A and B are shown apart, each in its own frame.
Chain A
Amino acid sequence: MKAAVLVFPGINRERDMARTLRLISGREPAIVWHADTELPAGTDLVVIPGGFSYGDYLRCGAIAARSPIMGAVRAYAAKGGLVLGVCNGFQILCEAKLLPGVLMRNENLRFICRDVYLRVERSDTPFTRGYNAGQVVRVPVAHGEGNYIADGETIARLEGEGRVLFRYSSPDGMIDPNWNHNGAINAIAGILNERGNVLGMMPHPENHVETAIGPTDGRGLFAGLAEALERAA
């Protein structure tokens, strides 16, 4: 795995992400500044971590999505390169139109930090091969704007094409409004692009990878990616 973690002014979870990537892949990821125009040669995973890039000014991720580095990310994704956007990273991918839809304010209008349960909908993607389809994993969320919205047509396509990878669920995998903390349509927590190489998700799997700290359900995502990239190499 040769990962590149993008940093925009105001991103604040790059250390969490870098540590997790290092722990699981054994390699230190490159940290790439938003003003650069190139990704490091040989990058096989681009990660856009969480935070409040540009202070969430205008709209979450709006200004970051228009940064110089995003041109390189677009080209890389067009060639099939893997991209993972977490929280603010998901918002940036939507603003950059690498993913459809938009993340709006949580239904209860408050920031929420708590552990949630996610049902993994498919295990046949590089991002979820570390899980079983239907498996329920526990990861934290920490966001004020995670309410996924898209028009009816887009939602129908996402569902029809099996591009919803994660949904907020009860601990035993039932979709239930009581377990959807932000009101996202269809309890959508993470989606793939058409080609299947770009994933955006609101929860933070990178914060649940160490036994000493808490649950380790987040490992599966990164371990699966590491394996997929090793096979491809």
Chain B
Amino acid sequence: MIPNDVRITPELVAEHGLKPDEYDRILKLIGREPSLTELGIFSAMWNEHCSYKSSKVHLRTLPTKGPWVIQGPGENAGVIDIGDGLACVFKMESHNHPSYIEPYQGAATGVGGILRDVFTMGARPIACLNALSFGGPSHPKTRHLVSGVVAGIGGYGNSFGVPTVGGSVRFHSRYDGNCLVNAMAVGIARNDQIFYAAASGVGMPIVYLGSKTGRDGIHGASMASAEFDEDSEGKRPTVQVGDPFSEKLLLEACLEIMQKGCVIAIQDMGAAGLTCSAVEMGAKGDLGVTLDLDRVPCREEGMSAYEMMLSESQERMLMVLKPEKEKEAESIFRKWGLDFAVVGETTPSKRFIVRHGGDVMADLPIKELGDQAPEYKRPFVSAAKPAVVDAESVPAPVDTVEALERLLAAPDLCSKRWVWEQYDHVILGNTVQRPGGDAAVVRIEEGPKGLALTTDVTPRYCEADPFEGGKQAVAECWRNLTAVGAKPLAITDNLNFGNPERPEIMGQFVGCIRGIAEACKMLDFPVVSGNVSLYNETNGRAILPTPSIGGVGLIEDFAKSATLALKRAGETIILVGETTGWLGQSMYLRELCGQEEGAPPPVDLTEERENGDFVRALILDGTATAAHDLSDGGLLVALAEMAMASGIGARLDAAPSDIPAHAHWFGEDQARYLVTVPADKTADVLARARAVNVPVWAIGRTGGDTLTLAGERPILVTILRERFESWLPAYMAGEL
């Protein structure tokens, strides 16, 4: 008989984020009323964040396999083979709701959590990236959120000791009430020394590692699954506080016990802490787990079983230990100043039993806690596809050069140096390409191989047409990696959407997943890990659908990787890919004309592949001296970025006359790149492209100190740079 002083009322069930029919499911499953502790356990295991109940059915349609995939979704992180006996372990995760409430700690603990997901598998983290979405610049909270989130990411990553090498930052009023903080971590392990979560062996000790347990974040996972309303300001106590110093110690201690062969299975304690990790370890291994909470190291007095099971105190791991290695493992942890406590054991019973103070506080069927979580096929409606915007109908309110200056100073396009200079991006001495390019490139150990890393998505495209937007997010990541010369291998996805109980939001989700799946399939670019964050809405107003994609590619010789900076005068600038002058959903249309309309540019995956493979070949054989893929702002913005990075200017031929000039310069047609080649190689390159049916044009020459388009006024590269670099620092200093 489980002691339970608290009456389970419908209100209490609702407070736990469980719907009446979900509660009925619990009653049927266990054949009685749950205790409070058991109710807490169910609420943690069955909320959206842990159970993926609204998304599972659709996530199953994503391609997750490939010749280089060692481990797909379902573990703490994804694992791919990168040759030479090495594996790359990576994942992206969100920490959206906590970051809105307490930006520094929300973002910091997001980084901490994703780092643990990587090193719990035996991989030493070597790089972090992040994708951030903030509200409109004029919203009163935006500066505070930007400041706190960036400081938090830097504060945690810099102290832990991993370089933060890339990411993206965008601003839009649809994120006013819901910022997005998606953190990605990448690690390297030996491919025969990967550690998984599934427990094995009966009667094995279950060990608690790391920091002591307190009352942080109780019901954080439930908060992640709830929308905000006016009361949200009062939710401060549920935000966890992170300590990167402890996590650094935890990393070293874990890697050491792994090397010494002490570990059978290991899992980090993240959302819903001890509950989620213990249940998953047992369930995956087809074993029962019994926990004795009297043994859990606590830093607060008098914590109840409920509190201990739901605490989200940071920097903790749970492990199944080889019994003969207990002394050795404990001494390693004591050396690093961390807690080590045997808190339970695996059992043959397939029950999840929690004891505290001599009583059994919970006794539940372990597999069903996961397997029997609700799985919803929520109704969805797809919005009608918007009409294609005819470029001829779009006015050009200012001249081309003025338009370029304005775009470079726009919040979404401007330099994010203010952000990434707060991240240590050189620590570990392996950063070959620093933030500011198409993708980061980091050397793997002593080389010659390198990893290319990027995050991307274009939310306004996803809003206009989820299928095309989903495709585009994956295609753009693929392009970013290709543009530095890497072979794209796999992705992690962080799907941020509004309330899935609304059919139109569910329609966005389903559409994006279909697009992502299509692109992954056609580009041989599988999903190996990911995260879903739903209910990003305030008072019924949802964020733009934001399926962030984190991409990883491999370059066999990092010395051959390309950068986008123009290298010398007198080279030919070549445009790869077709231009139709697509202005629908473009930055030009939004920033210059104030319209967010139209169908987004369609993505032709065959063209993406062919154009990309061609560009990569040019890079790897040394022909291309610079390369850049085209995206927001189109051709002219991309060229300006190449010029500003080096200070070397360019002269471009006149735009072709079949489409309006501004559509040519700023249209956002996909599958395009700019490359520079020595003048005497031009003819050869053009011939090579034609031989493989890749559309190319020589559009100009590098040189001088201005960007000069035929028929337009020249502009100094230094002036462009000034526009590009000024906006964000001035905005954050409160000068705008």
Contacts and interface: CB of A to CB of B under 8 A. Distances in A.
Interface of A: 9-10, 12-13, 15-16, 19-20, 50-52, 54-57, 110-114, 140, 142, 144, 204, 206-207, 210, 212-213
B559 interface: yes
A177 to B, nearest CB: 16
B240 interface: no
B422 A111 contact: yes
B701 interface: no
B424 A113 contact: yes
Contacts of A51: 161
User: What 8 A-B pairs come out closest when comparing CB atoms?
Assistant: A12-B161, A55-B245, A142-B424, A52-B159, A16-B429, A140-B426, A113-B424, A10-B245
Contacts of B422: 110-113
B151 A110 contact: yes
B657 to A, nearest CB: 44
B428 interface: yes
Identify the interface centre among B245, B420, B428, B559: most chain A CB within 10 Å of its CB: B245
A10 B428 contact: no
B249 A15 contact: no
B423 A113 contact: yes
B249 A207 contact: no
B430 interface: yes
Given A56-B159, A212-B432, A212-B559, A111 B424 contact: yes
Contacts of A113: 158, 420-426
A57 B244 CA distance: 12
Most chain A beta-carbon neighbours within 10 Å: one of B420, B426, B559:
B426
A50 B155 CA distance: 15
Contacts of A50: 427
Contact of A12 (B427, B443, B558): B427
A19 B429 contact: yes
Nearest to A54: B245
Interface of B: 151, 154-155, 158-161, 243-246, 248-249, 336-337, 420-432, 443, 447, 558-559
Given A110-B422, A113-B421, A212-B559, A13 B159 contact: no
Contacts of B428: 15-16
Nearest to A110: B422
Contacts of B154: 111
A113 B429 CA distance: 13
B422 to A, nearest CB: 5
A12 B425 contact: no
A112 B421 contact: yes
Contacts of B425: 113
15 contacts: A9-B245, A10-B248, A12-B160, A16-B429, A52-B248, A56-B159, A57-B245, A111-B155, A113-B421, A142-B427, A206-B429, A210-B429, A212-B558, A212-B559, A213-B430
A224 B151 CA distance: 37
Contacts of B245: 9-10, 52, 54-57
A9 B429 CA distance: 20
A144 B248 CA distance: 18
Contacts of B421: 112-114
Contacts of A15: 428-429
A208 to B, nearest CB: 9
A13 B246 CA distance: 16
A142 B426 contact: yes
Contacts of A210: 429
B426 A55 contact: no
Nearest to B447: A212
Contacts of B426: 113, 140, 142, 204, 207
Contact of A9 (B160, B249, B432): B249
A13 B430 contact: no
A33 to B, nearest CB: 9
Contact of B431 (A12, A55, A213): A213
Nearest to A16: B429
Most chain B CB neighbours (cut-off 10 Å) among A15, A113, A142: A113
Contacts of A13: 161, 427
B244 A55 contact: yes
B399 to A, nearest CB: 33
A55 B243 CA distance: 8
Nearest to B417: A114
B137 to A, nearest CB: 19
Nearest to B432: A213
A112 B421 CA distance: 5
A113 B159 CA distance: 13
A218 B160 CA distance: 24
Given A10-B159, A212-B432, A16 B427 contact: yes
Contacts of A144: 158
Contacts of A57: 245
B192 to A, nearest CB: 23
Contacts of B151: 110-111
A51 B447 CA distance: 24
Given A13-B427, A55-B243, A140-B426, 6 more contacts: A13-B161, A16-B429, A20-B429, A111-B422, A113-B422, A207-B429
